[in-house]
Amino acid sequence: MARLSTHPNVSIKLSGALNEFEPTPTPSSAADIVKALSPYLDTILASFGTKRIMFGSDWPVCNVGGPSGEAGNWELWREVVELWMEGKGLSDGEKEEVWWKAGAEAYGIDDI
């Protein structure tokens, strides 16, 4: 991650993590998922900063391995990302960067 982050045109998307807990099952609560993923998410934050981290749901793939089924995995992932950002003490502006501004910048969308 550190090497990739040295390239200013490289951003990273937070998605797909609910499927990556094999061979153990995905934890069932957002807090437990945050605890399990924090070392990775913290590395991403330290490497890229909020201006180059994009939220992504990985929907509908998130439904495959997530613990909340098709009706709840997307919302569970949103909760995981929000809890993690709150735990890091990110400002509202930094959260906005992750939720949508970094994606708009990376994809060249000017008019939102």
Query: Is 15 within the bounds of a domain?
Result: yes
Return mean pLDDT, the chain. Answer: 88
Do 51 and 44 form a contact (C-beta atoms < 8 A)?
Answer: no
User: Encoding tokens for residue 75?
Assistant: 């919302």
Report whether the peptide linkage leading into residue 27 is cis, meaning its omega lies within 30 degrees of zero. Answer: no
Q: Is the per-residue pLDDT at 62 higher than 90?
A: no
- Give the model confidence (pLDDT) of 68-84 as tens digits: 667 777 888 899 999 99
User: Is the Cβ–Cβ distance between 53 and 11 less than 8 Å?
Assistant: yes
What was the pLDDT predicted at 72? Answer: 75
Question: Contact at 8 Å (CB) between 14 and 53?
Answer: yes
The per-residue pLDDT for 26 is 83
Into how many domains does the chain fold? 1
> Is there a domain that residue 112 lies in?
no
- Quick check: is 75 in a domain? yes
DSSP state letters, 53-64:
EEE---TTTHHH
Domain holding 63, by residue range, is 2-105
- Tokens 């992750």 identify what position? 98
- Distance in angstroms between the alpha carbons of the first and the last residue of the chain: 29
The model carries a pTM of 0.88
Residue 14 near residue 44 (C-beta atoms within 8 A): yes
Instruction: Examine residue 11 and state whether it is found in any structural domain, yes or no.
Output: yes
**Does residue 7 lie in a domain region?**
yes
Helices (H), ranges, the chain: 2-5, 30-48, 62-65, 69-87, 92-96, 102-106
